[in-house]
């Protein structure tokens, strides 16, 4: 086992739109501010770790579209090994993952994610990277790829003695068999409320959770 980090997860093209306010149902509003950014929860983990100086590899999948090479090149420019980011689909049949992010004047956001190739990243495709995952000291996971694939990656990592860190986002209930494989869980308040079955409202208090 070496000291490098392996991230198993998603890559997305993020379409970010700034608005004065969010539209109500059926309403059209105008925005004069649009930007396209490389993203995805897995890619973001890998990029951040690489920028901090870590030896990082990303295991994931892009589609057969205009965003695929751009997403990989962005990560490679930060020092991430993207040799295990494979391409899915032919003739544009399966697009890379994407997210539409709208942000209002107060800084609040609304996000819609289209999984694309991330959603097609099944357990059988993870097998191509089994040896890489088993060689890692730390394995970082999130929930923008199929849950079965996340669980399989965690099993490979734990069997090899790696430390497993899970960002439980997007927020959802996590099966006990996956939680049992995780050494560190890093939820935000919304995710913590879902994990503990607590209502997330003005009375939510993290300190009261057990």
Beta pairing partners, 114? 98
Which pLDDT tens digit goes with each residue over 105-125? 999 999 999 999 999 999 999
The structure's pTM equals: 0.89
The residue with greater pLDDT, 19 or 209, is 19
Q: Which helix (H) or strand (E) holds 149?
A: helix 147-159
User: Which among 48, 50, 56, 42 is positioned nearest to 11, based on CA atoms?
Assistant: 42
Q: Which residue has the higher pLDDT, 65 or 208?
A: 65
Residue 196 confidence (pLDDT):
75
Per-residue pLDDT of 72-117, as tens digits, reads 999 999 999 999 999 986 555 789 999 999 999 999 999 999 999 9
**Are 47 and 78 a contacting pair, CB within 8 Å?**
yes
Q: Is the pLDDT of residue 59 over 70?
A: yes
Q: How confident is the model at residue 204 (pLDDT cuts 50, 70, 90)?
A: low
Largest distance between two CA atoms of the chain: 55
Considering the chain, what is the average pLDDT of its residues? Answer: 91
Look up tokens 């070496």; give the residue. Answer: 2
| Pairing mode of beta strands 56-62, 81-87 | parallel
Least Cα distance to 50 among 12, 76, 15, 87 occurs for: 76
pLDDT at 161: 96
Residue 93's pLDDT is 77
Check pLDDT > 90 for residue 2: no
pLDDT level of residue 202 (50, 70, 90 thresholds):
low
pLDDT digits over 132-191, tens only?
A: 999 999 999 999 999 999 999 999 999 999 999 999 999 888 999 999 999 999 988 777
Q: What angle do CA 72, 138, 61 make, to 5 degrees?
A: 25
**How would residue 1 be classed by pLDDT, with cut points 50, 70 and 90?**
very low
Domains within the chain, CATH numbers bracketed:
5-11+40-96+117-208 (3.40.1190.20)
């Amino acid at each position: 086992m070496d000291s490098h980090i392996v991230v198993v997860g998603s890559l997305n093209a993020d379409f970010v739109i700034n608005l004065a306010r969010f539209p109500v149902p059926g309403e059209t509003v105008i925005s004069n501010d649009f930007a396209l950014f490389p993203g995805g929860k897995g890619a973001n983990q890998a990029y951040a770790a690489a920028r901090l100086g870590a030896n990082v590899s990303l295991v994931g999948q892009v589609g057969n579209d205009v965003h695929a090479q751009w997403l990989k090149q962005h990560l490679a420019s930060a020092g991430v090994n993207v040799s295990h980011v494979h391409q899915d689909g032919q003739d544009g049949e399966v697009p890379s993952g994407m997210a539409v992010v709208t942000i209002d004047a107060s800084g609040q956001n609304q996000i819609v994610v289209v999984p694309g190739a991330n959603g097609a990243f099944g357990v059988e495709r993870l097998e191509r990277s089994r040896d890489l995952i088993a060689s890692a000291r730390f394995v970082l996971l999130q929930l923008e790829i199929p849950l079965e694939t996340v669980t399989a990656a965690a099993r490979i990592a734990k069997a090899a003695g790696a430390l497993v860190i899970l960002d439980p986002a997007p927020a959802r209930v996590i099966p006990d068999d996956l939680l049992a494989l995780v050494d560190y869980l890093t939820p935000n308040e919304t995710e913590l409320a879902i994990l503990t079955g607590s209502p997330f409202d003005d009375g939510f208090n993290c300190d009261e959770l057990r």
